[in-house]
C-alpha cells in the first residue's frame, strides 16, 4: 500500500541589498518566506524545507564579524519560535536552517526540525565546513557540527538533514541511511562554476546508494556586493533509485512540491541489498587517520 508524503522545498533570491541594516535584511527574508511557506501549505505540503541560512544573504562571501550579530539560539531564538507558530497554524512539519549561537563565540550552521504541531524535535549542525576561494569563507563563521547524524521521527516519516557542502561526503549520507532516514533534506547555497556538474550527480548517487529520497535545495540569484556567482536554483527531489522526479527552475523563486511514496524504499532495498552486503569490518582504514 502506498505511503505518500507530500513535501515542498523552497528556493529564493535575497530580498533586499546586503548593504541594508542587518535587522532589515533578516526581516525582509523572513517576510518573503512567510508567503512562500503559506503557498507550500496551500499546495498540501506535509513537510516544508527552506534553503541554507534562509533568513539572510549568503554572507560567507566575505569575512566580517558583523554577521555574528545575526546569530540566534536554537530553539529559543525568534526565527525558530516564529516558525513553530507557523507550523502549528498550518499543520506542517518544517526544516528551518539558521545561523546558531550556542554561547558567545561558538556558532554553527544549523537546521531546526519542527513537527506539524509546532513541537521542536531537535537540530542538525553542518558537519563539514568549507573554506574555499573565492567566496566560501565558512570556517570564519562556523564550528564543525558535533551532533552526529540524527534522524527525526515526524510520526508519518523519518527525516535526516545534510547541509550544503556536506553533500560532497558520502560517509554522513550513509550514516543517515543506517540511522533510519527515509527522506534526507539538503539545504544549500551553491553557485554556478566548479561544482555545478556535481549538483545532479552526488545527491542522486546518495539516494541510490542508500535507498532513500533526497530533497536538494539551492537559493537563486546573484548577491551584491560580493557577486561571487549565480546561485542557480535547480532544487529537486530524487527517489531511492537515484532518479530526479521533480525539479525547480534555475533563476526564480519557487516552491517545488512532490509526492514521495515511502513504500518505494522497501522495494528498492529488497532489490539492491547494499545494507546487507556492507563490510564495516573492512572499513577501518577510512577512519584510521
Of the residues 7, 52, 72, 175, only one is catalytic, namely: 52
Q: Which long-range contacts (CB under 8 A, 24 or more apart) does 32-38 make?
A: 32/253, 34/86, 36/10, 36/12, 36/253, 36/255, 37/10, 37/86, 37/90, 37/92, 37/94, 38/90
Which are the contacts of 217, defined by CB distance < 8 A and separation ≥ 6? 9, 10, 11, 49, 50, 51, 52, 185, 186, 187, 188, 235
Inter-axis angle of helices 22-42 and 78-90, nearest 10: 20
Query: Catalytic residue at 115?
Result: no
Check 49, 164, 182, 264 and give the catalytic one.
Answer: 164
Is 52 assigned a catalytic role?
yes
Tell me if residue 126 is catalytic.
yes
How many Å apart are CA 77 and CA 74, to the nearest integer? Answer: 6
What single-letter DSSP state applies at residue 59? G
Which listed residue (32, 100, 126, 175) is catalytic?
126
Known catalytic residues are 52, 126, 164
Amino acid at each position: 500500500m502506498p505511503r505518500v508524503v507530500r513535501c515542498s522545498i523552497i528556493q529564493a533570491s535575497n530580498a533586499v541589498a546586503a548593504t541594508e541594516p542587518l535587522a532589515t535584511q533578516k526581516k525582509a527574508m523572513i517576510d518573503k518566506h512567510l508567503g512562500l511557506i503559506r503557498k507550500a501549505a496551500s499546495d498540501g505540503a506535509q513537510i516544508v524545507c527552506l534553503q541554507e541560512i534562509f533568513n539572510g544573504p549568503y554572507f560567507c562571501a566575505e569575512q566580517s564579524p558583523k554577521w555574528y550579530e545575526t546569530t540566534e539560539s536554537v530553539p529559543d531564538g525568534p526565527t525558530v519560535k516564529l516558525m513553530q507558530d507557523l507550523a502549528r497554524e498550518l499543520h506542517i512539519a518544517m526544516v528551518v536552517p539558521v545561523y546558531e549561537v550556542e554561547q558567545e563565540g561558538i556558532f554553527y550552521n544549523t537546521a531546526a526540525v519542527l513537527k506539524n504541531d509546532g513541537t521542536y524535535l531537535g537540530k542538525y549542525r553542518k558537519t563539514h565546513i568549507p573554506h574555499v576561494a573565492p567566496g566560501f569563507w565558512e570556517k570564519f563563521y562556523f564550528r564543525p557540527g558535533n551532533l552526529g547524524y540524527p534522524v527525526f521521527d515526524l510520526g508519518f516519516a523519518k527525516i535526516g538533514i545534510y547541509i550544503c557542502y556536506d553533500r560532497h561526503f558520502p560517509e554522513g549520507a550513509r550514516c543517515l541511511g543506517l540511522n533510519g532516514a527515509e527522506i534526507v533534506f539538503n539545504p544549500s547555497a551553491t553557485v554556478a562554476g566548479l561544482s555545478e556538474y556535481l549538483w545532479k550527480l552526488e545527491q542522486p548517487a546518495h539516494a541510490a546508494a542508500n535507498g532513500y529520497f533526497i530533497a536538494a535545495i539551492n537559493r537563486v540569484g546573484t548577491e551584491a556586493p560580493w557577486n561571487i556567482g549565480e546561485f542557480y536554483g535547480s532544487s529537486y527531489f530524487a527517489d531511492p533509485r537515484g532518479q530526479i522526479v521533480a525539479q525547480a527552475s534555475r533563476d526564480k523563486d519557487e516552491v517545488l512540491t512532490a509526492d514521495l511514496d515511502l513504500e518505494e524504499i522497501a522495494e528498492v532495498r529488497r532489490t539492491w541489498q547494499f545494507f546487507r552486503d556492507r563490510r564495516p569490518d573492512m572499513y577501518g582504514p577510512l577512519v584510521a587517520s
